[in-house]
Amino acid sequence: MEIKQYLDSTYLKTAEQANLSEAEDAKVVSSFIQEAIDHHFKLIMIRPKHVALAKKMIMEAASKVLVGTVISFPEGTNTLEEKLAEAEKAIHDGVDDLDFVCNYEAFKKGNSTLVKEEVLKCTQFGLSHHKTVKWIIEVAALTDQEIIQLSALIKNVVMSNCKEDQYASVFVKSSTGFYKTENNKPNGATVSSIIMMLENSSPLPVKAAGGVRSYEEAVEMIQLGVKRIGTSSALAIISGQKAQSRY
């Protein structure tokens, strides 16, 4: 299986989270970008502040690697206006994919109107600039019923307001990889959560993010039907190794 074109190689830690200086962190980010270029991964997923650097390195290498970033990360509680402003800056810096964190806490509290509006406006904004849009629903924070309902909400907003040929550019994505779970429970994609997402977001594609750390796990997700895999373990996956990272 040609697995590289499913892999969004991901590095989203801040310098503080990685216990690094800003200069050390910049070197780690550059190494991840270069690794994605060298191994022809589908995309490099990084924090917004690094988008311009990634685009520069990729253009200089005449590479086809895409650049993705996260919006309202990792909590998803920014206002609609803040999310749009962050997305606009990323687009200016050369981003290809915008991975918005859905306001899942608002959804859990019953405020589906707020969530529908942000999905509509942010999706339309991204598509109008010819970008791929992904909605992170944070499955570890949701019950099974909420996973089903939120996946369906995103699908229904997109199908009601976008053209059919745009559906493939709007993903439902499982996780940030930063959600804190109790008792070391999975904080990313699981087989059961991905199946629920696939069944309830179709025809929108699904991205499995968080917890995919080996070639076998990646293949399993692809066979289920996901179109992208977000992982900090992309090199280990293509090398047939098992990474230790939780993302």
> Phi, psi (5° rounding) for residue 32?
-65, -40
**Cβ(167)–Cβ(218) below 8 Å:** no
- Among the listed residues 42, 131, 134, 207, the single catalytic one is 207
Q: Among residues 13, 2, 84, 72, which one has the least CA distance to residue 45?
A: 13
State the burial class of residue 203 (Cβ atoms within 10 Å of its Cβ: 0-12, 13-18, 19+). exposed
- CA angle, corner 132, sides to 131 and 134, nearest 5? 135
Q: Among residues 86, 99, 70, which one has the least CA distance to residue 172?
A: 99
- Among the listed residues 13, 134, 155, 173, the single catalytic one is 173
Our answer to whether residue 207 is catalytic in this structure is yes
Our answer to whether residue 173 is catalytic in this structure is yes
* 68, amino acid identity: G
Residue 140 CA to residue 138 CA, distance in Å, equals: 6
**Cβ(90)–Cβ(69) below 8 Å:** yes
- Among the listed residues 13, 42, 99, 134, the single catalytic one is 99
Q: What is the DSSP string of 201-229?
A: HTTS-EEEESS--SHHHHHHHHHHT-SEE
Q: Among residues 180, 247, 170, 154, which one has the least CA distance to residue 209?
A: 247
Q: How far apart are the first and last CA of the chain?
A: 22
- Catalytic center residues: 99, 173, 207
